[in-house]
Amino acid sequence: MDGLLTVSRLVNDDNNYRLEKLVSRFKLHNRLVIAMTYLSVSADLGYVSSIGWDSKLVVSRIDLKDSIPKVAIVGQCKLLTKATCILSLIDDESGLPVFLTGRTDSSLLSMFTLFGEIGSETLVEVAKLSLNDAEFSSHSFYPMTMASVGNSRVSIGTNEVPFMRLITVEVPSIREAVKIPEGDLLDRLRRISDDHNDASIMRDRIVSNLDSFTPQDKYSSPIVLGRGRREGVWIMGDDGIVRGFDLKRGEVVEEMRSEGGRIKSGFVGDIGGDGPETDGTEVVVSCGIDGVAMWR
């Protein structure tokens, strides 16, 4: 609520887990933090991207080499309206981080990247991805939640009522976004940053636009979660139902009912983690108003 970041370590003392605070009260936003993601660059370095009630995107670097992590804000951008959702990923071609943000009153996703040497990074917007290919129509929805569903695809849950729509888009490479098929990409990014050029709108990125069959109203906080290497997404519903949605078939293929009421947050993971040691068992956790549910 106060816009502060706390960094803690999970400590296991004889099978008794506890959180040990390492960094507390690092100021990210002037007001409430709406959402946050962590993007690992290496074992000792990562970037926290956050959006707040102050309508800002803030990217912070976390250096984990020392026992006490070092946190520094390396870039921030004031958005035109309040941000609603954020997702971070790595551009396969350049290896640069990519930050996607949605906001109210706009059916566009803003695409940012961070470039430069560690300690002198620059945040720059490289494109706006349209979720509405009807170029001359006014928007009637905006993105509320995002999940990665492949190397370059993202599924977006909208605020539409009475049922959420699920729009999947192909995220362009940074080189494609800044329209430089060859040549020095970093030089191009520097010129865009120095000249304060407006990012162009990219259309025809939509892969599918589907009814998710998940009920919601104007007070809902939609939740869509990716399934790692598996096809599709999990959608956490206001009606307490977790729906497994197959993006290729465009339909709900599984429903799991929680007794916790309206779902406010959730988690999806694999037993043993994401590496080769996983046993292939997927874990789904939903946190509702009246309780927590878990499925394997």
Q: Which two tokens stand for residue 77?
A: 């951008």
Residues 6+ apart with CB under 8 A from 291: 258, 259, 260, 261
Total domains, the chain: 1
What is the pTM assigned to this prediction? 0.93
242 located within any domain: no
Evaluate whether 121 touches 115 at the Cβ level (below 8 Å).
yes
φ/ψ bin of 37: left (φ > 0), alpha (ψ from -120 to 50), beta (otherwise):
beta
289 located within any domain: no
Evaluate whether 33 touches 23 at the Cβ level (below 8 Å).
no
280 located within any domain: no
Query: What CA–CA distance (Å, rounded) separates 161 from 292?
Result: 26
pLDDT digit string (tens) for the chain, length 296 residues: 899 999 998 898 888 889 999 998 899 999 899 999 999 999 999 999 999 999 999 999 999 999 899 999 999 999 999 999 999 999 999 999 999 999 999 999 999 999 999 999 999 999 999 999 775 555 689 999 999 998 799 999 999 999 999 999 999 999 999 999 999 999 999 999 999 888 999 999 999 999 999 999 998 989 999 987 677 999 999 999 999 999 999 999 999 998 878 899 999 988 765 555 556 789 999 998 888 999 99
* Cα dist from 54 to 83, 199, 204, whole Å: 9, 22, 31
Q: Which two tokens stand for residue 122?
A: 């620059």
213 located within any domain: no
Complete edge-to-edge strand list for the sheet that includes strand 163-170 = 143-148, 153-158, 163-170, 206-215
211 located within any domain: no
192 located within any domain: yes
19 located within any domain: yes
Q: What is the domain extent for residue 36? A: 4-140+170-205
